[in-house]
Structure 1
Amino acid sequence: MKTKKIITSSLVFIFSVLLVWYLFVKVNDYCISFKVKTATGTVFQGINEWSISRLSSNKESYVILEKKNFSFIKQEMKKGKVTMEYTWDINSINDSITNVSVGIKELNNSIYNRLTAPFFSTNFKETQLKKITDFRNGLNKHNESFKIKIDGERTSEEVFVAYLSLKSVLQEKAQTMIRNDDIITGFLHQNNIKIEGKPYLEIQSWNQDKETLEFNYCFPIDKNTRLIENDMVKFKTIPAVKGLQATYFGNFRTSDRAWFALLDYAKSHNLQLTNKPLEHFLANPFNGGDELSWETKIIIPFE
């Protein structure tokens, strides 16, 4: 009889501890998980872009409280009197599949949500399921707009180029190139310097925390070209580099999706890469056509 009381007391104690933890200590009210066929960095960028779009479409204002590229984001969302926290854990399962877990907490109604969400179809639960499902569906649709093939270890060609040094945030890399295209091509045309091949983009610095880039927008020319001094257009040799290469098919605005795929591949295969991708654009976007036919070779050098 005494043993039975001890067991019963122990079970009551354990249950009480678990209940206190669940109601008052557990970080989130509700968690939603899903898998997506894309790289962790693409999910990370997708969350940022989705959060911006929610402001215009749903009057939801998101602020990043904490982040770790490209595996974790904690956000605070405010809409009217409602304040919520979203905690996104982003983990690569293999070279192409990413698992996403979204922890959700409503700051003013947390205990009620914890008591009801596991058992009832509440407004909170249904609203969050729809919101995260819409995000996942949007991400899947975005992934249909490009294709990536990991080519493996490769060595790029040495090339002599005329180039512009530019800066931008990651999301505006292609737009920055387009805005400056007339400057460099106009200079080359005015000075009868023939372009010999497709353009390159050489990353000099990639600050992943601030999502900023410093890069060279380059056009191949003959190495024996008579060099002309100019405040903006410079000349150099891009050396051959050995690294991990991917072929990207899609709009150049989102070619960084191949960077993320290469980083995930390198991580899963214990390879150390720099933060200096080299892109070689093999199509001319000014010609239009099917974006999935626009080919770019991207190599990230080994450390």
Structure 2
Amino acid sequence: MKIKNRIVLGFSLILSVLLVWYLFVKECDYCISFEIKTSTGTVFQGIQEWSNVQLKNDKERYTILEKRNFDFIRQEMVKGKTKMEYNWEMKYVNDSTTKVNVGIKELNHSIYNRLTAPFFKTPFKEEQIKKIVDFRNGLDNFLKNFKVKIKGEVTSQEAFVAYINIKCVLQEKAQSLIMRDGDITGFLRIHNIKIIGRPYIEIVNWDLDKEKLVFNYCFPINKNTQIIEDSIVKFKTLKAVKGLGASYFGSYRTSDRAWFALRDYAKENGYELENTPLERYLANPFDGGDELTWEAQIVIPFKKK
């Protein structure tokens, strides 16, 4: 066989393999990428909240098939006879930017979409571009509602506290505080125990996979206070914690966005964090006012560097 024929045959085999991979092996029909100025975890939470809105507004039902470490989520979307898969991958770029890659696959028309989407403005392609652009714009608008400032290494203050234990999913942290606030403040008021500082929440366990929290809702009191035995309200010393710190400004419903920013910062700077954030709320949401002036101080302990 002549050298020219071998080269042609070799290229033909390579093209055949690539074509088979593209049509039958490649995970998505079409991929859309964009960058956004926030943490990977904030994008992750935004996807889940956006999916709930899509169900309400467009009757699109999203089911999570797989998720990982707040930087990957795979969903199936069903609307009538249409079935889609969305693979969202969030990549840390720097302490203020995340790159998002969205792989999209239509389960009933996959091969057709792969043949047409790269070259033509098909309804599939136009609809997916519009959908992801709308998601990005919605997330951009949401990001205007809070700010996070990374402080680096910090140490919290020791405090003697009265506290109650709360269990909830991550997304319901603020609602759980509101619902249980009267349990502890009422107890302190009845027993004439004076609150002498702003409240804390001490995360005891953060299950990243299930997005569940166990935490203590704490109010600083005088360390000489007589301890009163109670089945709900307990007392202890909240020890000083050394870790990575941040200031969060905004509604306390989404103060966990500072946790995600600190996780990204830790990865970039070689820290290994515990899953036990400590938050201290410096404003009282019951007083109202501009949410962007509500500050929370966040510390997440690190294991090592």
How far off is 1:2 after superposition? 2.4
In structure 2, C-alpha distance between the alignment counterparts of 1:281 and 1:169, rounded to whole Å = 20
* Counterpart check, 1:263 vs 2:263: yes
Find the counterpart in structure 1 of residue 156 from structure 2.
156
Find the counterpart in structure 1 of residue 291 from structure 2.
291
In structure 2, C-alpha distance between the alignment counterparts of 1:263 and 1:62, rounded to whole Å = 27
In structure 2, C-alpha distance between the alignment counterparts of 1:198 and 1:259, rounded to whole Å = 20
How far off is 1:186 after superposition? 0.9
Aligned residue identity for 2:181: D
How far off is 1:116 after superposition? 0.4
Find the counterpart in structure 1 of residue 94 from structure 2.
94
SS of 2:120's equivalent in the other structure is: coil
Aligned residue identity for 2:282: L
The 5 Å alignment of 1:47-58 reads 47-58=47-58
- Structure 1 stretch displaced more, 8-17 or 179-188: 8-17
In structure 2, C-alpha distance between the alignment counterparts of 1:193 and 1:25, rounded to whole Å = 66
* Counterpart check, 1:236 vs 2:236: yes
In structure 2, C-alpha distance between the alignment counterparts of 1:6 and 1:226, rounded to whole Å = 90
Query: Unaligned regions of 5+ residues in structure 1, if any?
Result: none
Percent of matched pairs sharing the same residue:
65
Q: Deviations over 1:1-48 (max 9, x none)?
A: 922222222222221221111111111100000001111111111111
Find the counterpart in structure 2 of residue 216 from structure 1.
216
TM-score for both structures, normalised by structure 1? 0.98
TM-score for both structures, normalised by structure 2? 0.98
- Structure 1 stretch displaced more, 180-189 or 10-19: 10-19
Query: Unaligned regions of 5+ residues in structure 2, if any?
Result: none
How far off is 1:239 after superposition? 0.3
SS of 1:42's equivalent in the other structure is: helix
* Counterpart check, 1:114 vs 2:138: no
Find the counterpart in structure 2 of residue 253 from structure 1.
253
SS of 2:273's equivalent in the other structure is: coil
The 5 Å alignment of 1:1-303 reads 2-303=2-303
In structure 2, C-alpha distance between the alignment counterparts of 1:216 and 1:139, rounded to whole Å = 30
Q: Deviations over 1:178-227 (max 9, x none)?
A: 11111111111111100001000000000010000000001000000112
Q: Deviations over 1:83-139 (max 9, x none)?
A: 111011111011111010000000100011000000000000000000011111111
For the aligned residue pairs, the C-alpha RMSD in angstroms reads 1.0
How far off is 1:231 after superposition? 1.4
In structure 2, C-alpha distance between the alignment counterparts of 1:31 and 1:206, rounded to whole Å = 32
SS of 2:108's equivalent in the other structure is: coil
- Structure 1 stretch displaced more, 189-198 or 8-17: 8-17
In structure 2, C-alpha distance between the alignment counterparts of 1:267 and 1:2, rounded to whole Å = 54
